[in-house]
Amino acid sequence: MRKPLKELLDKLPRTFVQVSRNTVINLDYLRQVEPSMSGNKTALLADQTRISISRKYWKGVKERVFEL
């Protein structure tokens, strides 16, 4: 059975944050945030993975980063 991502996020620790419609990252592994040409941001994780942060979710990501 499929469940909404919001339901999953509610069960995860506060270090997990939604960065796009279908992507969640663990802020413990976030190393850097870079601007991208599209106006979105790009999260650089500890293993050098790059994840796009959509404009819609950027405010929530930024708030969570400064909260931790």
Number of structural domains the chain divides into: 1
SS3 for 13? coil
What is the dihedral angle through the alpha carbons of 53, 62, 67, 4, rounded to the nearest 10 degrees? -40
**Which pLDDT belongs to residue 1?**
67
Beta strands in 1-68 (DSSP E): 16-20, 23-26, 30-35, 41-45, 50-53
> In the chain, which residues have pLDDT < 70?
1
**Which pLDDT belongs to residue 68?**
76
Range of the domain at 34: 5-66
Nearest one of 53, 57, 67 to 15, comparing CA atoms:
67
pLDDT digit string (tens) for 42-59? 999 999 999 999 999 999
**Which pLDDT belongs to residue 37?**
86
